[in-house]
C-alpha cells in the first residue's frame, strides 16, 4: 500500500517495483546506492568479556546479549546508548543465545556445563538453569508453540524446553553432531543439520518427534529458511554445495554448487536471494530463491563466515574472520559497496531492527563493534525515453543514472531533495522532503515530454499524485496556422509498486 507524506509517495520495506512502462522496468537501479553521512561506518566499540561470540537480539527491549565464552558471562548492551547495562554470570562456555518472544526470556546454552541459563530480559537476572544434553549449542525458538530447541552436539539429541515452565519436555534423538536448527514458520517444523551423519533431521513442532531424515552433502552446517518459497538451504562444508530441502515434501529439490567450505547463509527477504559465505574461497555465492541457481559470486575478504541481512537498507554484512573487516554487499547490485574495518577476529553480526545498527563481536579484541546501517531512499522514474540520463539530489548530494531508479543509503531523518531539469521534459515532484525512518523509502518521479504532438482545439492538464502539470502546446503555430490552442485532459496516477 502506498502512503503519501509531504507530497511524496513511498512504500513499505518489502515493496518491489516491477511495473513495465514502454518496455522499461521501473524502479530497478543498475548502480549501487550512494552512501550519505555516517552510513556503514563504525559508531561505537563496546568493551565486553573474554572471547565474545555472536550476540542474541531482544526485539522487545532492543538490547543485545553478548556471550563471553571464556569469562562465562553475558554482557547486555543497550541498543539505545551502546553501553553495557549488565554483566550476568552464566554456565561454562556460553554460546549465542535465543530470544523467546512469548515470555520475554533469553535462553543461553552453556557448552561446557551442559545446561541452559534462562535470563529475564526485564530484570537481566538468571531465573532458571535447565540441565540438557552434552555440549549444547545455539538454540532455536519456535514462535508457534513457544518452545526452545537446544541441539546437544556431543550427545546427538535435541532438548526441548517449554517456554511456559522452563523445563525439558522432550529429548529427541537426531543424527551425529547436530547444529543450530532452522525453524520453518510455514509448516512449523525444525531442521537440524547433523554434520557427523550427513543428513538433516526434521522435527515436528506439533508432536516433537522426527518426521523425516533427509540425506544431504558432506558435513552439513546450520541451514537457513527462505520464507517466500518455503525451502531450507543446507550448506555442506566439505562437498562445497548447498542442498535445498522443500518445506512441503521434506525432500531435496536442488543441489547448488558453490565455493569452497560454505557456511550458514543469510536470506534477503526483499530480493529473495540467499547469500552463502565460502570461507576457503573468500567469496559469497548468491543463490536466487526463484530459479535455485547462482546469480552472482561476490569476492570479499579472507575467511568469510555467517552474514547478516539489514532489512532497512537491504545490504548484507559479511564478516571476514581473517582480514578483520566486514564486506557490505548491496542487495540491489550484488556488489561490495564498502569494506568496514573492525576489531580482531570478527564473528557473526546481528542486525538491530530498533536502531538500524549492526553489532559484531570481535573475539580477539574483546569488544563489540557497532556499525551504522542506515536506510535506503530510492527515486523511481517513469516517462523518460530509454537511455535518458537524469539526476536526483538528496541533501545536496547528487546522483545520476540512465536507468529507471537510483538510490541513496542514509541515516534516518528528514532530508530535502530535488530533481534536476531534463531538457524536453517537465518533472513532478521537482522538490520535496523525505521523512526517512527504518524502512525503505520510495519516491515516485513522473517525467512528461514537452515534445508530444498535441491536437488543436483541446486543452489538457496532466495529473500526478503530487500535483498537476499544465502542458501548453503551440500546435497551430507549429503547423503554420494563426492560432495557438491548449489541450485539457487527465492522465491517471502512475501505478504504485506492489506491496506484500
Cα pseudo-dihedral 380, 384, 386, 389, rounded to 10 = -80
Which pLDDT value is given to residue 2? Answer: 31
pLDDT in tens, 174-206: 999 999 999 988 889 999 999 999 999 999 999
> pLDDT band at residue 254, thresholds of 50, 70 and 90?
very high
In a domain, 162, yes or no: no
For residue 460, pLDDT over 80 is answered with: no
Between residues 45 and 25, the one the model is more confident about: 45
In a domain, 210, yes or no: no
In a domain, 43, yes or no: no
In a domain, 422, yes or no: yes
Which residue range(s) make up the domain with 457?
3-36+376-478
Residue 162 DSSP SS3: coil
Give CA–CA dist 394/407, Å, rounded: 10
Which pLDDT value is given to residue 246? Answer: 95
Number of domains in the chain: 1
Q: What percentage of residues in the chain have a pLDDT greater than 70?
A: 83
pLDDT in tens, 355-385: 889 999 998 889 999 998 888 889 999 999 9
Which pLDDT value is given to residue 497? Answer: 35
User: Among 281, 212, 283, 277, which residue's Cα sits nearest to residue 245?
Assistant: 212
pLDDT in tens, 406-420: 988 888 888 999 999
Calculate mean pLDDT across residues 210-238: 95
For residue 401, pLDDT over 60 is answered with: yes
Query: Which CATH number fits the domain that encloses residue 441?
Result: 2.60.40
In a domain, 17, yes or no: yes
Give the pTM.
0.78
Contacts of 336 (CB under 8 A, 6+ apart): 298, 299, 300, 327, 328, 329, 330
Which pLDDT value is given to residue 360? Answer: 92
pLDDT in tens, 122-177: 999 999 999 999 999 999 998 888 899 999 999 999 999 999 999 999 999 999 99
In a domain, 295, yes or no: no
In a domain, 232, yes or no: no
Which pLDDT value is given to residue 20? Answer: 29
Amino acid at each position: 500500500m502506498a502512503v503519501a507524506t509531504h507530497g511524496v509517495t513511498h512504500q513499505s520495506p518489502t515493496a518491489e517495483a516491477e511495473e513495465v512502462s514502454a518496455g522499461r522496468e521501473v524502479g530497478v537501479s543498475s548502480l549501487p546506492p550512494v552512501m550519505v553521512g555516517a552510513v556503514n561506518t563504525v559508531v561505537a566499540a563496546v568493551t565486553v568479556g573474554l572471547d565474545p561470540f555472536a550476540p542474541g537480539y531482544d526485539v522487545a527491549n532492543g538490547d543485545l546479549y553478548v556471550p563471553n565464552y571464556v569469562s562465562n558471562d553475558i554482557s547486555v548492551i543497550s541498543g539505545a546508548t551502546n553501553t553495557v547495562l549488565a554483566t550476568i554470570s552464566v554456565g561454562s562456555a556460553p554460546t549465542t543465545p535465543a530470544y523467546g518472544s512469548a515470555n520475554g526470556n533469553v535462553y543461553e546454552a552453556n557448552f561446557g556445563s551442559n545446561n541452559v541459563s534462562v535470563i529475564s530480559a526485564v530484570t537481566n537476572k538468571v531465573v532458571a538453569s535447565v540441565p540438557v544434553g552434552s555440549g549444547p549449542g545455539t538454540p532455536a525458538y519456535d514462535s508457534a508453540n513457544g518452545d526452545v530447541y537446544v541441539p546437544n552436539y556431543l550427545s546427538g539429541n535435541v532438548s526441548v524446553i517449554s517456554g511456559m515452565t522452563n523445563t525439558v519436555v522432550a529429548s529427541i534423538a537426531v543424527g551425529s553432531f547436530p547444529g543450530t536448527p532452522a525453524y520453518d514458520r510455514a509448516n512449523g517444523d525444525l531442521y537440524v543439520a547433523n554434520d557427523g551423519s550427513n543428513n538433516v533431521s526434521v522435527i515436528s513442532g506439533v508432536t516433537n518427534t522426527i518426521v523425516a531424515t533427509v540425506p544431504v552433502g558432506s558435513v552439513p552446517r546450520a541451514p537457513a529458511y527462505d520464507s517466500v518459497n518455503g525451502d531450507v538451504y543446507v550448506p555442506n562444508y566439505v562437498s562445497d554445495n548447498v542442498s535445498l530441502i522443500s518445506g512441503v515434501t521434506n525432500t531435496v529439490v536442488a543441489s547448488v554448487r558453490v565455493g569452497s567450505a560454505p557456511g550458514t547463509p543469510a536470506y534477503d527477504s526483499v530480493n529473495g536471494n540467499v547469500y552463502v559465505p565460502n570461507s576457503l574461497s573468500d567469496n559469497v555465492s548468491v543463490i536466487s530463491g526463484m530459479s535455485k541457481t547462482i546469480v552472482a559470486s561476490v569476492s570479499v575478504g579472507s575467511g568469510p563466515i555467517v552474514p547478516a541481512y539489514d532489512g532497512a537498507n537491504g545490504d548484507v554484512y559479511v564478516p571476514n574472520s581473517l582480514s578483520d573487516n566486514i564486506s557490505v554487499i548491496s542487495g540491489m547490485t550484488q556488489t561490495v559497496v564498502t569494506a568496514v574495518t573492525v576489531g580482531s577476529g570478527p564473528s557473526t553480526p546481528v542486525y538491530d531492527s530498533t536502531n538500524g545498527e549492526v553489532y559484531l563481536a570481535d573475539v580477539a579484541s574483546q569488544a563489540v563493534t557497532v556499525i551504522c546501517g542506515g536506510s535506503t531512499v530510492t527515486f523511481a522514474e517513469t516517462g523518460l525515453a530509454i537511455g535518458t540520463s537524469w539526476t536526483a539530489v538528496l541533501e545536496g548530494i547528487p546522483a545520476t543514472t540512465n536507468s529507471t531508479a537510483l538510490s541513496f543509503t542514509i541515516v534516518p531523518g528528514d532530508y530535502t531533495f530535488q530533481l534536476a531539469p531534463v531538457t524536453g521534459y517537465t518533472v513532478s515532484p521537482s522538490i520535496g522532503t523525505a521523512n526517512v525512518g527504518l524502512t525503505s523509502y520510495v519516491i515516485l518521479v513522473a517525467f512528461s515530454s514537452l515534445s508530444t504532438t498535441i491536437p488543436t482545439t483541446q486543452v489538457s492538464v496532466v495529473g500526478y499524485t503530487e500535483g498537476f502539470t499544465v502542458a501548453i502546446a503551440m500546435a497551430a503555430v507549429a503547423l503554420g496556422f494563426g492560432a495557438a490552442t491548449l489541450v485539457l485532459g487527465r492522465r491517471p496516477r502512475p501505478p504504485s509498486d506492489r506491496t506484500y
